[in-house]
Chains A and B, each alone.
Chain A
Amino acid sequence: MIVAGCDVGSLTAKAVIMNDSKILATSVIRARSRPEESAKEVMGMALKEAGLSMDTIEYSVGTGYGRKKIPFADDIVSEIVCHGKGAKWLLPSIKTIIDIGGQDAKVIKVDENGNVIRYMYNDKCASGTGRFLEVMADALEIKLEDMGAVSLRSNTPVSISNQCTVFAETEVISLVNDGKKISDIVSGLHRAMAHRVVSLAKGIEVEADVTMSGGVAKNIGMYTAFEDALGIKMKKMKFDPQINGALGAALFAQEGH
C-alpha cells in the first residue's frame, strides 16, 4: 500500500512516500511563497525519487503550517500529532519530543502508543525558535548549517545574558568586538536556546527518552546544549529529523486508508 505524507512548514516543505513499512522516498525544499506550490513541488520530487506517479498514491495526509492549502491531501492532521507519531515509529522508547522549526518550538509528550498526552507550543516569541539561530548566524557571518560543527570546537562557552533575539544579537556583536571566540559564542547561543525552550516547557515534565525533530535537530550542537539544560542524555533519530512530521503524516495515511 503506497501512501504519502506532506508537511508544509513556514520555511521548508517536506514529503515522505511509504510502501507499507518501508520509506521509499523523502524530500525537503525551501518553501515557496504559496503553500500549494511548495506542496506540489516537494511531492513531485519525492515521487520522482521513488519512480512513481501521483495516481499510485493510495492515500495522503497533509500537515504543518500550510496543511490546509495542500491540494492533493486526502486528510489533514496537526503537526504536533504527526511529530509524535513519526518519532515513536523511529524511536519506540521515546517519551518526549522537542521539535524546533523555523518559526516555532514545541515540546511534545507521547504515551507508549505515540499518542500526544501533553504539549507546549511557542510561536509568539522568536527566541527559542530556528529564527533565533538564523539571526545569530547572520550576525556572526557564518552559515546556519555550520553552527553545530563550529560549536564543537568550543571549550568555554560564553554565557549569553539576553533572552530576546533582538537584544541577544546586539550582545553577540559586542562579544565579537570584545574578542571572544566565535566557537565559544556559538556554543553559548546553543545553550541559551536550549534553556529558553526548556523554560517554555515548564509545566511539562520532560521524561527520557528525549529526542529532537525539525530543522534545528540537524544542528549537532543543540544535542549537547539540551543534555546540559535537561541533565538527560538525548536520543538521536537515525533519519533526517526534518522529515519527521511528514513521516508521521505518512503513517497516519497508512492507518487512515
Chain B
Amino acid sequence: MIVAGCDIGSLTAKAVIMNDNKILATSVIRARSRPENSAKEVIGIALKEAGLSMDTIEYSVGTGYGRKKVSFVNNVLSEIACHGKGAQWLMPTIRTVIDIGGQDCKVMKLDRNGKIVKFVTNDKCAAGTGRFLEVMAKMLGIKVEELGELSVRAERTLTLASACTVWAQAEVVHNLNEGKSIEELGAAVNQAMANRVVLLINSIGVERDISMTGGVAKNTGVVKSLEELLGMKMKRTKMDPQIVGALGAAIFAKEKLEGRQ
C-alpha cells in the first residue's frame, strides 16, 4: 500500500512516500513562489528517489501553510495534527512536540495515541520563529544552517537584551562594531531564540518525553539551550526533523486506507 504526505511550509516544502510501514523516500526543497509549484516539485523528487510514478500513490494527504493549493492530494489536514502524528510514530513515548518552522512556533501536547490534547502557537511575532534566525544569520553574514555550531565554538557568552527581532538586529550590529566575534554573537542568538521559545512552552507546560520537529530542530545550539532551560533532554531520531509533518500526513493517508480514520 503506497501513500504520500506533502507538507508545504512558508520557506520549505517536504514530501514523504511510504509503503505500509516503510519510508521509501523523502525530499525537502526551498519553497517556490507558488505553493502548487512547490508541491509538484517536491513530490516529483520523492517519486524519482523511490522509483515510482504519481499513479502508484494510492492515497495522499497535504498539510502545512500552503496545503489548500496542493492539487494532487486526496485530503488535507492541519500541520499540528500531522506533526503530532509523525513525532509519535517515530518516538512512541513522546508527549510534547516543539515544532519551529520558518515563520511560526507551535508546542503540542499529545496523548499516547498521538492525538493532540493541547497546543499553543505563535505566528504573530517573528521572535521565536525560524525567521528570527534567518534575519540574524544574514546580519552575521553566514548561512542559517551554520548558526547552530557557533554555540559550541563560542569561547565567551554574551546576552542579547532584546527579544524583538528588529531590536536584536540593532544589538547584533552594535556588537559587531564593538569587535565581538561571530561565534559569541551566534551563540547569543541561539540562546535568545531558546529563551523566547521556552516562554511559549511554559505557557502550556511540558510533559516527558519531549522532542523537536521543523527546520530549527537542526540547530544544535538552540536545542542545547532549550534542554538547559527546560532541565530535560530532547528525544532525537535518525529521521530529518524537517520531514515530520509530511511523515505524519503520509501516516494519516495510510490509516485512511486501512480504514482507521
Q: Which residues of A contact B (CB under 8 A)?
A: 103, 124-126, 131, 135, 162-167
Provide the main secondary structure of the chain B interface. Answer: loop
CA distance A125 to B124 in the complex (A): 12
Judging by beta carbons under 8 Å apart, are A165 and B166 in contact? yes
Are B166 and A167 in touch, CB under 8 angstroms?
no
A124 to B163, CA, bound (A): 7
Interface residues on B, range: 10 to 19
| B166→A135 contact, CB < 8 A | yes
In this complex, what residue of B is CB-closest to A125? Answer: B164
Question: Which residue of chain B has the shortest Cβ distance to A135 in the bound complex?
Answer: B166
Dominant secondary structure of chain A at its interface with chain B:
loop
Residues of A contacting B162 with CB < 8 Å? 124
Q: Are B124 and A166 in contact, with the CB atoms below 8 A?
A: no
Q: What is the bound-complex CA distance between A135 and B165, given in angstroms?
A: 12
Q: Are A131 and B124 in contact (CB under 8 A)?
A: no
Given contacts A163-B124, A164-B126, contact A124 B164 (CB under 8 A): yes
Do A166 and B131 touch across chains, with their CB atoms under 8 A apart? yes
Q: Which are the 6 A-B pairs with shortest beta-carbon distances?
A: A126-B166, A166-B126, A166-B165, A165-B166, A164-B125, A125-B164
B135 CB contacts on chain A under 8 angstroms: 166
Which residues of chain A are near B165, meaning CB under 8 Å? Answer: 126, 164-166
Complex: how many Å from CA A164 to CA B125?
5
The docked-state distance in angstroms from the alpha carbon of A172 to that of B230 is 37
How far apart sit A35 and B104, CA to CA, in the bound complex (Å)?
38
Residues of B contacting A124 with CB < 8 Å?
Answer: 162-164, 167
**A166: B residues at CB distance < 8 A:** 126, 131, 135, 165-166
Contact indicator A126/B103 (Cβ below 8 Å): no
Flag B163-178 by CB within 8 Å of A: 1 or 0 each: 1111100000000000
